[in-house]
Amino acid sequence: MSFGKIQELIKKKNITFKSCEYHTQRKLENGGKIRVLVLNGVAHVEYICPNCKHYEYLTKEWKRPFSVKCSNCGYLIRVQKMKYLIKKEMKNLS
Protein backbone atom coordinates (compact mmCIF):
# COMPACT_ATOMS: atom_id res chain seq x y z
CA MET A 1 0.00 0.00 0.00
CA SER A 2 1.50 3.31 -1.02
CA PHE A 3 0.72 6.76 0.19
CA GLY A 4 -0.25 8.61 -2.97
CA LYS A 5 -2.54 11.38 -1.84
CA ILE A 6 -0.09 13.59 -0.01
CA GLN A 7 2.56 12.98 -2.62
CA GLU A 8 0.10 14.21 -5.25
CA LEU A 9 -0.69 17.26 -3.18
CA ILE A 10 2.98 18.11 -2.84
CA LYS A 11 3.52 17.88 -6.57
CA LYS A 12 0.35 19.70 -7.52
CA LYS A 13 0.92 22.63 -5.21
CA ASN A 14 4.65 22.67 -5.67
CA ILE A 15 5.22 22.51 -1.95
CA THR A 16 8.67 23.12 -0.59
CA PHE A 17 10.18 22.77 2.83
CA LYS A 18 9.63 26.48 3.45
CA SER A 19 5.97 26.55 2.52
CA CYS A 20 4.77 23.69 4.66
CA GLU A 21 4.53 24.03 8.39
CA TYR A 22 4.96 20.38 9.17
CA HIS A 23 5.66 17.23 7.32
CA THR A 24 6.47 13.77 8.51
CA GLN A 25 6.10 10.15 7.70
CA ARG A 26 6.41 7.61 10.42
CA LYS A 27 6.35 3.90 10.78
CA LEU A 28 4.02 2.56 13.43
CA GLU A 29 3.88 -0.77 15.18
CA ASN A 30 2.48 -3.80 13.32
CA GLY A 31 3.24 -2.41 9.88
CA GLY A 32 1.08 0.67 10.28
CA LYS A 33 2.19 4.05 9.04
CA ILE A 34 1.17 7.65 9.09
CA ARG A 35 2.08 10.66 6.99
CA VAL A 36 1.16 14.18 7.95
CA LEU A 37 1.51 17.38 5.95
CA VAL A 38 0.37 20.67 7.43
CA LEU A 39 -0.60 23.59 5.23
CA ASN A 40 -2.23 26.78 6.48
CA GLY A 41 -3.22 25.18 9.75
CA VAL A 42 -4.79 22.16 8.12
CA ALA A 43 -3.28 18.73 8.55
CA HIS A 44 -3.47 16.37 5.59
CA VAL A 45 -3.18 12.87 6.96
CA GLU A 46 -2.69 9.48 5.42
CA TYR A 47 -2.48 6.44 7.61
CA ILE A 48 -2.54 2.70 7.77
CA CYS A 49 -3.99 1.69 11.11
CA PRO A 50 -1.58 -0.50 13.10
CA ASN A 51 -4.54 -2.26 14.65
CA CYS A 52 -6.76 -3.15 11.68
CA LYS A 53 -4.68 -2.11 8.59
CA HIS A 54 -7.36 0.30 7.44
CA TYR A 55 -6.07 2.94 5.00
CA GLU A 56 -7.46 6.44 4.93
CA TYR A 57 -6.73 9.94 3.72
CA LEU A 58 -8.29 12.82 5.62
CA THR A 59 -7.84 16.43 6.55
CA LYS A 60 -8.32 17.97 9.96
CA GLU A 61 -7.37 20.98 11.99
CA TRP A 62 -3.71 20.94 13.04
CA LYS A 63 -3.28 20.71 16.78
CA ARG A 64 -0.54 19.51 19.03
CA PRO A 65 -0.30 16.90 20.33
CA PHE A 66 -1.70 15.47 17.14
CA SER A 67 -3.69 12.27 16.96
CA VAL A 68 -6.00 10.54 14.52
CA LYS A 69 -8.67 8.06 15.35
CA CYS A 70 -9.02 5.14 12.98
CA SER A 71 -12.45 5.42 11.38
CA ASN A 72 -12.67 1.67 11.07
CA CYS A 73 -11.76 0.37 14.52
CA GLY A 74 -11.41 3.47 16.67
CA TYR A 75 -7.71 2.94 17.44
CA LEU A 76 -6.02 6.19 18.42
CA ILE A 77 -2.87 6.93 16.42
CA ARG A 78 -0.67 9.48 18.09
CA VAL A 79 2.00 11.50 16.36
CA GLN A 80 4.67 12.87 18.61
CA LYS A 81 8.08 14.42 18.32
CA MET A 82 7.81 14.86 14.62
CA LYS A 83 9.81 17.99 14.08
CA TYR A 84 13.24 16.44 13.76
CA LEU A 85 12.07 14.24 10.93
CA ILE A 86 11.11 17.06 8.59
CA LYS A 87 14.46 17.79 7.03
CA LYS A 88 15.22 14.17 6.33
CA GLU A 89 11.76 13.68 4.94
CA MET A 90 11.92 16.63 2.56
CA LYS A 91 15.28 15.48 1.29
CA ASN A 92 13.74 12.19 0.29
CA LEU A 93 11.14 13.96 -1.79
CA SER A 94 13.51 15.69 -4.15
Question: Binder to Zn ion among 16, 30, 72, 80 (CB under 5 A)?
Answer: 72
Which range in 2-10, 27-35, 63-71, 86-94 contacts Zn ion by CB under 5 A?
63-71
Choose the binding region for Zn ion from 31-39, 40-48, 50-58, 86-94 (rule: CB under 5 A): 50-58
d(CA 68, CA 89): 20
Q: How far are the Cα atoms of 7, 64, 75 from residue 90, in angstroms, in the given order?
A: 11, 21, 28
The residue within the footprint of Zn ion, chosen from 73, 87, 88, 93 (CB under 5 A), is 73
Please identify, among the stretches 6-14, 34-42, 43-51, 55-63, the one whose residues bind Zn ion according to the rule CB under 5 A.
Answer: 43-51
Q: Check binding of 45 to Zn ion (CB under 5 A).
A: no
Alpha helix ranges (H) inside the chain: 5-13, 86-93
Rg of the chain (C-alpha set): 13
Are the beta carbons of 77 and 47 closer than 8 angstroms? yes
- The binding site for Zn ion (CB under 5 A) comprises 49, 51-52, 54, 70, 72-73, 75
